[in-house]
Structure 1
Amino acid sequence: MPAEASSHDAYESYAPYASYESGAGAAGEGVEDSYKGGLRKVARVVLLDPQERILLLHGHEPDDPADNWWFTPGGGLEGDESREEAALRELAEETGITDVELGPVLWRRRCSFPFAGRRWDQDEWYYLARTTQTATAAAGLTELERRSVAGARWWTCQELTEAHETVYPTRSPSC
């Protein structure tokens, strides 16, 4: 990661990427252009399956796939939706997973990081969730997300511990 990219750790180090607030139109249409700066309210999901594996998305800078990391699903609130509603909507859009038991907030953080040529300032809430649905299908990605998300994977605690890749969040409820 470039030196400036490490500034996403300014407050705490959990996730360098989030999906983008939506504007008008169908899911994924022009969404990334609606974030104009300021503090963005975000809901993220720490999703566990029956084997206690965590689902992470594989992201990268849109113009530099070598600058990559794994991160939790989630994104910005739309309109007057609650954080819980945003968490479930983002999870469905980014993974296709809808059979979810949303649990409590695990932690909160404020962060600032560079991504896709601009700075993102976010107030993120991380929710624990459980599912038995393990197949993923990212049907609701924005254009920018389609250029910056390479896939999804379920990780065991041991795999996360042994990984030589950048993974966010750095804390995990199952490890």
Structure 2
Amino acid sequence: MARLAVKLLLVDGDGRVLLIRSRDPGTQGVCWYPVGGGVEAGESLQDAATREAYEETGLVGLPIGVLVWQRDHTYEYGGQVVDVHEKWLLHRVEAFEPVPAQLSEYEASSILGFRWWRAQDLVEATETVFPPRLGHLLTDLLTDGVPPHPVDISDARTPATD
């Protein structure tokens, strides 16, 4: 059974998204990914988003998010295979300097830092970013606005056709 996870698109007034830089303790591969994590029993998506934002970045007072994407995904990290059903929330925030407040021991050993990314910089990035094509997805979201229904980005690794 897939684990329910919430992913946060923390987007500032300049259209930049906050990503976490991490090193896989198993493979030593380095990647960038959005703030987020598992939804605990009894938590709403917003409650989980608020908790994750605080734990991973120290952000207090997370604005209410809008559900924009969903994704079913299987990944391997730290030698474990995890099936997740992700719900992606867009949160408009003021830019801030992330200072993790409550990382697990595992997170503390794998998180290397943070960066605010412009969508175009993600499109051009040579570093590994999850989900694949995040720059294109973010560009579409910021250009077209919030979709009327969450967009399924499960196949986001497939290049767009013009």
Report the TM-score range of the alignment, normalised by the length of the smaller protein.
0.7 to 0.9
**1:133 Cα deviation after fit:** 4.3
Mind listing any 5+ residue stretches in structure 1 that lack a counterpart? 1-37
Which residue number corresponds to residue 71 of structure 1? 33
Letter in 2 for 1:50: G
TM-score, length-normalised on structure 2? 0.78
Which residue number corresponds to residue 115 of structure 1? 77
Letter in 2 for 1:53: R
- Residues 87-106 of structure 1: pairs in structure 2 closer than 5 A: 87-106=49-68
SS of residue paired to 2:128? coil
Task: Determine what percentage of the aligned residue pairs are the same residue.
Answer: 34
Which residue number corresponds to residue 42 of structure 1? 5
Alpha-carbon distance in structure 1 between the residues aligned to 2:130 and 2:97: 21
Tell me whether 83-92 or 161-170 shows the greater mean CA deviation.
161-170
Alpha-carbon distance in structure 1 between the residues aligned to 2:121 and 2:27: 25
RMSD: 1.5
Tell me if 1:150 matches 2:118.
no
Alpha-carbon distance in structure 2 between the residues aligned to 1:109 and 1:161: 20
Alpha-carbon distance in structure 1 between the residues aligned to 2:25 and 2:64: 30
Alpha-carbon distance in structure 2 between the residues aligned to 1:133 and 1:159: 17
SS of residue paired to 1:92? helix
Letter in 1 for 2:123: T
TM-score, length-normalised on structure 1? 0.73
Letter in 1 for 2:19: L
SS of residue paired to 2:81? strand
Aligned counterpart for 1:81 among listed residues 43, 46, 55: 43
